[in-house]
A and B are shown apart, each in its own frame.
Chain A
Amino acid sequence: MPRRYDKLVELAGEFSNYTAKYLQQIGAAFDELNTRLEQAGLRDEVHLWQPAWNLEREMDIVSHVAPEGAERVRFLGCYYGLQYLRMNIQAIEALRAGVVPGASREEVYREFLTSLGSSYTQLVVTFMRKVLDILLAGAELPPFVICGVGTMTDQDDVDIAVVVEEESGREPLNSVLSKLSSIMLRYATRFHFYLSERVSPESFATSLEEYRTYAETYPGDYIIISELLNAEPLFGDRALFERLQREITERYYVDSDADPVYHEGFVRGALGDVVALATRDFDADRIVPKEEALRIIKALVQIKRSLHGLREPNIWHNLQRLADIEPWNAEKNDLLERGLVFFEVLRYLYQLLVVQDEVVILDTPVMTENLSRVAAAMGYRRRGAVGSEDSLLVHYYDSVDRVRAVARDLAREVEENLRTGSVFLNLASAEPRPPGELLKQTLRLIRFLARVAFWDDVFELLLASDKELLRALVADFNSLPPAKRERRVNELVGLVKRNAELFIKLLVLLGENREDVDAHELFEALARAFLREFGTFYNPAREGAHLFAVQPTLVHRYLAEIDYDAAKEFMDLTSREVTIPSLQPAAASLRELCRLRYYGSAYLRRYLGTTLQKYADCLYLLDDMEGLAEKAQGILAESALVPTPAAKKELLGDYYDLELLRIGLMTLRGATIEETNAAYTEFSDDYLNYLFDACREELAEEYGRWVTSFDVMALYAAGGHAREWAFNDDYDLLVLIDSDDEKLQELGGAVISAMSAEISKRGMMPHFRLIEHFGSYVIPVRQLEEFFRRGEATDFIEKSQLLESRLVIGTSTFEEEAYERIIKPFVFDRAEDYIADMKTEMASRQRAVGEVFLPNNVKECVGGLRDIVMTMLICKARFGIRDPVTSHILEGIGRVYPQAGLELRSLYNSMCFLKNLRDVYRLAVCLDDNLDFEHADVVGEILGFDGAAAGEQGRQVREAFDRTTAKVAAEIESILAKVT
């Protein structure tokens, strides 16, 4: 081997491992080829180490100096390898020389792509032709044409379609193509027969009839259609290629004479892809230029070709044409062209220098080093602490964002086009039809276009003019006899396997509008049929995960519409293992969502619904409590940054809903009662504080002054919130003001009124204690003193409310003042009276509970939570404890009165059980304190009770509840006997 070969090896050493195959072929044949050329006196005619002057002629010489067929291919392969490596080495050198500081990188990239693309295409096509000349010698074959159907500059593979007139007699051709494919793989670049794989899987060559059948069966298969639109003849019968264009491809252009449904199917398919790709999240550990940008740009250009009748396949050429055809989009199309340049260069260099893969992994040091080589070749330099690969990535994300933004704009324009020119518009026409005909026509159209991804405008059409079309379709269905209804349902359910997303969209549309359009029967029938069909997938969990990954909100809406049993069935179907790693996170989130649908009460699901309406990405975080917490903190932080109080209040509401959801999930996953209560109280107090500020700010704008001050006003949590208990259905609040200034009282009242309006939107009614006596939200301390001085018989209720209250907004000075003027003189200093009243009340209440038979009311029953709270209040008054009536107060009482220590500890444990039971019941069954044990199996399961038979876990919950309340009653009796 000459020294030049060593130099070639050295220079190609920076290329990916893929290029080793070329070096191997060169090493295996070079000496022999060189000798043969010298022997034939043709060495000077062939450029082995320089660019060919005339590829066609030089390959002919190389081919002919070989003694026979196999040798000729080997020599051609060697020559191809030499030219291929030389071409890439020179291209890279030229690129490096061009991207010097000060030069326009974009211009250099453009020149690089143009020059390299042309050289590469010529090289690969000439090689293929010469090999075919060898393979076809003496063969009798039907007319055929080989077309390039992809981007010819892609060096990882060459997308090829082979067309024959008819199926019969193509076997010899298949044999030739099979050999050609092997040779291309071994010596040059792999062939990819994507079209034939889809259209005629048994054959490399596809007949015109097979293309026709496929086009009529799958009008929305935009990938296939796109390849057809890109087809360019490389070898063979040009007349056959023209027939392919005339008979198959032509129908996809808007200006053709074909049925417009083909053009529309293609546009819908491509548009669906653009919209999906342009809104997809980035993965943190990788970039994928093909998925994140190139496919978007190429699909948009293909749509425009179809819309403007641009038959020329070259994408660069079409982008130039668009500049003339769509002057209003000049800037956007220019951005697409620049994006195309950048992403193609990046992809090309990554595949050449690192690995022939579409995915650029970012999370390992080796891959970072590899990417830095790509960046350097593209002209990025290290700047201080910022590596070249970092600069490249910044540019990458920035470019992707810009391309996506433009894509969304252009997609909207295409959508508008569909809205005014869709074949579906005919359905909405008022033309009279026989019964059942409208439904039949619609189903035919939907089935025909089933595989297309974009349906938004069709769904808008169904709902337009007060749901006129949807109503008419459902009425048509309802008017059919039962057998025909069943037939229509069966026809529609065939969609599940072809486009499950579309089927679920239809199902959700019907479910959400079933009341208005009388679609109960149709919805139920389709919902049942869907689960039957879905269950026949090889792995329904995988299908579910895939669906969830692309349409999480849709899956959530579906689960919200179906009944409990259907939710259980869907949950079981999607609970199987999913082995595809990329789908596993979606599978896990889907399982969590299903669990929430099945185990979660309507109370909890309402917060899920309101959260997802605005923050659909939370669906991916349902099994990630830290992620949800971070998201909530982000919303809270954002609330501080938005300019208007109204926007602040809205974000605070979002924060509340998301936090409640998170803590609900935590509880259902087995968080302890202490964890639940602490997390709940923390966010709930934050919410109140921030809300108070937002409302104050709003009123300051309205009144032109700061309406109240912490120094004279304080807001206390009462009831469950004061006790730091989670999941209350009301928000007990107490607002005190230490001022007789009526204006100040009025303004304070206005702040609280505004807060009240916001809190109630969260589904919790604020209850302002003592309103009955004072008539306003804000109670002046002086009036409260007067009220207690009067000594009304039932004022122990108001005293209890004050005694259990916990300061949430206000100063410690105010709290101290309120203690000195209210709590101390009217409660602690008169503890005996208060305790006597409370004991009487307890007895009276327990009697009443017996009378109205509330034995299963976890709050009100004998030994229930109310008794525990009253006991805590009695002890607090008895010992003058100033701590709030949270769970910890029992420890405090135990410290000052150790004689009741055992009972207090046991009471604490019982309280934890009852409170946890109440929380789980609220989150899993319903927001009611009257426990219905018939529906408590799910509660038992969450609380860890065993039992497979229906009702068994509920029975155990009941037994535990009865045991605990009886124990509590005894403990309270003992504690009160000792303490009082």
Chain B
Amino acid sequence: MAFYYQIRLSGGAEIDLHLASKILAEALAVYEDKNVVQHISYGPAARSAASRTDLVVSDQEIYRPKAREVDLLVALTQEAADRYAGEVSPQGYLLLDEEAVPQAPEGKFRAYRLPFVAAARELGDARLASIVVLGAVTALSPAHNRRAVEDALLARVAPGTEAHHREAFEQGFKKMNELL
């Protein structure tokens, strides 16, 4: 049976989840030879508190590019969590930011709360939250291989900032694993 996995990263515009999504997509397409379709919000939607970026992953060609039953949803704002929780599949996962999402939506999915933004702040740059998310998604997603994601991450960042990004990634990866 074909492998099919759908990921949605959602939150406000202040955290560049689009970057995390690009890295996750690149890790699959370039380093893992999997098929992936990415879709992102445009215009005002991209600036809303429920901005989103979707990935559809498969080991076969993808004929249905729109994400429907999401296997893994990351929500960094309450609005995003509320809006998209209903689209998570019954066996799916919901990762919520500990601070920004006080009310975990109810559903049959498994929900985890992680300090994405707080961990990034501790590293001195709240914008690194997207990289902490990247680490957590890598730990949880059966589609992703840690080495490939790290390679794709390092290919994206400015020279001299690699260690900083690695640390943020490691934080997310470790914190997710601690919860599993």
A interface, CB within 8 angstroms of B: 515, 564, 601-603, 606, 729-730, 746, 749-750, 753-754, 756-757, 760-763, 765-769, 771-772, 775-777, 794, 796-797, 800-801, 841, 844-845, 848, 851-853, 925-928, 930, 932, 934-935
Write the B12-42 contact mask toward A (1 if CB under 8 angstroms, else 0).
1110100100100110011001011111101
8 A–B contact pairs at CB < 8 A?
A: A602-B154, A606-B30, A606-B155, A765-B22, A794-B45, A797-B43, A925-B158, A926-B158
* Docked pose: A746 CA to B26 CA in angstroms: 26
Complex formed: what's the CA distance from A852 to B43 in Å? Answer: 15
Give Cα A930 to B158, complex, Å: 11
How many Å from the CB of A432 to the closest CB on chain B?
A: 33
Q: Which residue of B lies closest to A796 (CB)?
A: B43
Once the chains are docked, how many angstroms separate the CA of A564 from the CA of B157? 13
By DSSP majority rule, is chain A's interface helix, strand, loop, or mixed? Answer: helix
- Determine how close the nearest CB of chain B comes to the CB of A54; give it in whole angstroms: 78
- CB-based nearest A residue for B21: A765
Say whether B33 contacts A749, CB under 8 Å: no
Contacts of B44 in A (CB 8 A): 794, 797, 841, 844-845
B35 partner residues in chain A, CB cutoff 8 A:
756-757, 760
Contact present for B38 and A767 (CB under 8 Å): yes
Bitwise interface map of B from 143 to 160 toward A, beta carbon under 8 Å scored 1, else 0: 000010000001111111
User: Contact at B22–A729, with CB atoms within 8 Å?
Assistant: yes
The complex places the Cα of A74 from the Cα of B15 at a distance, in Å, of: 95
Rounded to whole angstroms, the CA-CA distance of A333 and B40 in the bound complex is 64
Q: Is the CB of B29 within 8 A of A768?
A: no
Cβ contact of A750, chosen from B12, B63, B159, cutoff 8 A: B63
A771-B39, A794-B43, A797-B43 given; A753·B62 CB < 8 A: yes
Question: Chain B interface residue count: which class?
Answer: 35 or more
A767 shortest CB reach to chain B, Å: 6
- On whether the beta carbons of B155 and A760 are closer than 8 Å, the reply is no
Using Cβ atoms and an 8 Å threshold, which residues of chain B touch A603? 155-156
> How many angstroms from the CA of A845 to the CA of B42 in the assembled complex?
11
Assess whether A768 is in contact with B33, with CB atoms less than 8 Å apart.
Answer: no
Is the beta-carbon distance between A927 and B156 smaller than 8 angstroms?
yes
Verify B47–A845 contact, CB threshold 8 A. Answer: yes
CA distance A777 to B35 in the complex (A): 15
Contacts known (A757-B35, A797-B42, A841-B44); A768 close to B156, Cβ less than 8 A:
no
Of B14, B16, B39, which contacts A768 at CB under 8 A? Answer: B39
**Beta-carbon nearest neighbor of A763 in chain B:** B30
Cα-based distance from A845 to B43 in the complex (angstroms): 8
With A and B bound together, what is the CA distance between A794 and B45 in angstroms?
Answer: 9
Cβ contact within 8 Å between B66 and A775: yes
Q: How far is the CB of B173 from chain A (nearest CB, A)?
A: 15
Q: A765-B26, A848-B47 are in contact. Are A753 and B161 (CB under 8 A)?
A: no
* A753 in contact with B66 (CB, 8 Å): no
Beyond A763-B30, A794-B43, 17 additional contacts (C-beta under 8 Å) are: A753-B61, A753-B65, A761-B30, A767-B38, A767-B40, A768-B39, A771-B39, A775-B66, A777-B65, A796-B43, A797-B44, A800-B43, A801-B42, A851-B14, A925-B159, A927-B156, A935-B158
- Which residues of B approach A to under 8 Å, CB–CB? 12-14, 16, 19, 22, 25-26, 29-30, 33, 35-40, 42-45, 47, 61-66, 147, 154-161
Given A844-B44, A927-B156, A756 contacting B14 (CB threshold 8 A): no
Closest A residue to B26 by beta carbon equals A763
Query: Nearest chain-A residue to B25 (Cβ)?
Result: A765
In the complex, A756→B37 CA distance in Å? 7
- Interface contact A602-B47, CB-CB below 8 Å: no
The answer to whether A761 touches B29, judged by C-beta atoms less than 8 angstroms apart, is yes
Q: Assess the B161–A932 pair: CB atoms within 8 A.
A: yes
Shortest beta-carbon distance, B159 to chain A, in Å?
Answer: 5
Whether A749 pairs with B37 at a CB distance below 8 angstroms is no
Tell me how far the C-beta of A732 lies from the nearest C-beta in chain B, rounded to whole angstroms. 10
A926: chain B residues at CB < 8 Å are 156-159
- The chain B residue with its CB closest to the CB of A775 is B66
Complex alpha-carbon distance, A801 and B40, angstroms:
14
Q: How far is the CA of A730 from the CA of B157 in the complex (A)?
A: 17
Is B26 touching A767 in the complex (CB atoms < 8 A)?
Answer: no
With A and B bound together, what is the CA distance between A88 and B173 in angstroms? 81
- Shortest CB distance A645–B (Å): 13
Closest to A606 in B: B155
* Chain B residues with CB under 8 A of A801: 42
| Nearest chain B CB to A699 CB, angstrom units | 10
Nearest to B45 among chain A residues (CB) is: A794
**List of B residues within 8 angstroms of A602 by Cβ:** 154-157
Inside 8 A of A771's CB, which chain B residues have their CB?
A: 39, 65-66
Q: List residues of chain A with CB within 8 A of the CB of B22.
A: 729-730, 765
Q: How far is the CA of A928 from the CA of B153 in the complex (A)?
A: 12
Q: Check B61–A935 contact: CB distance below 8 A.
A: no
CB distance from B127 to the nearest CB of A (A): 8
Set of chain B residues within 8 Å of A935, measured between Cβ atoms: 158-161
Q: How far is the CA of A250 from the CA of B40 in the complex (A)?
A: 74
Q: How far is B136's CA from A610's CA once the two chains are assembled, in angstroms?
A: 29
Bound form: Cα–Cα A753–B60 in Å: 10
In the complex, chain B residues whose CB is within 8 Å of the CB of A797: 42-45
Find B13's partner among A757, A777, A848 (CB 8 Å cutoff).
A848
Q: How far is the CA of A848 from the CA of B48 in the complex (A)?
A: 9
Q: Are B159 and A754 in contact (CB under 8 A)?
A: no
A928 and B29 within 8 A (CB): no
Set of chain A residues within 8 Å of B158, measured between Cβ atoms: 925-926, 928, 932, 935
Interface contact B30-A765, CB-CB below 8 Å: no
A730 to B37, CA, bound (A): 11
Alpha-carbon separation in the docked complex, A38 to B43 (Å): 113
Contact B65 A750 (CB under 8 A): no
Q: Once the chains are docked, how many angstroms separate the CA of A762 from the CA of B45?
A: 28
User: How long is the Cα–Cα vector from A749 to B158 in the complex, in angstroms?
Assistant: 37
The residues of B that contact A776 with a CB separation of less than 8 Å are 64-66
A841 vs B35: C-alpha distance when bound (angstroms): 34
Q: Check A757/B39 contact, CB under 8 A, given A763-B30, A928-B158.
A: no
How many angstroms from the CA of A749 to the CA of B63 in the assembled complex? 7
Q: How far is the CA of A757 from the CA of B35 in the complex (A)?
A: 5
Q: How far is the CB of A601 from chain B (nearest CB, A)?
A: 8
Chain A residues, CB < 8 A from B160: 564, 934-935
Evaluate contact between B36 and A765: CB separation under 8 angstroms: yes
Q: Determine the residue in chain A with the shortest Cβ distance to B62.
A: A753
> What residue of chain A has the Cβ atom nearest to residue B61's Cβ?
A753
Give the Cβ gap from A203 to chain B, nearest Cβ, in Å: 56
Q: Assess A765 versus B66: contact at CB under 8 Å? Given A564-B160, A845-B47.
A: no
Look across to chain A and name the residue whose beta carbon is closest to the beta carbon of B33. A761
The residues of A that contact B25 with a CB separation of less than 8 Å are 760, 765
A515 B63 Cβ-Cβ under 8 A: no
Going nearest first, the 5 A-B pairs with the smallest beta carbon separation are A760-B29, A797-B43, A602-B155, A852-B14, A765-B38
CA distance A366 to B36 in the complex (A): 62
- Chain B residues with Cβ below 8 Å from A800 are 43
Contact flag A750-B61 (CB < 8 Å), given A602-B156, A603-B155: yes
Report the separation of the CA atoms of residues A760 and B12 in the bound assembly, to the nearest whole angstrom. 26
* Whole-angstrom distance between the Cβ of B100 and the nearest chain A Cβ: 14
Question: Which residues of chain B have C-beta atoms less than 8 A from A927's C-beta?
Answer: 155-156
Chain A residue numbers with a CB within 8 Å of B13 are 848, 852
Q: Tell me which residues across on chain B come within 8 A of A761, comparing CB atoms.
A: 29-30, 33
Task: Return the chain B residue nearest A746 by Cβ.
Answer: B63
Nearest CB on A from B67, distance (A): 9
Q: CA–CA, A812 to B67, complex, Å?
A: 33
In the bound complex, what is the Cα–Cα distance between A775 and B62 (angstroms)?
12
Query: Across the interface, do B43 and A841 meet the contact criterion of CB distance under 8 Å?
Result: yes
Instruction: Report the separation of the CA atoms of residues A852 and B47 in the bound assembly, to the nearest whole angstrom.
Output: 10
Q: Which residue of B lies closest to A564 (CB)?
A: B159
Residue of A nearest to B160 (CB): A935
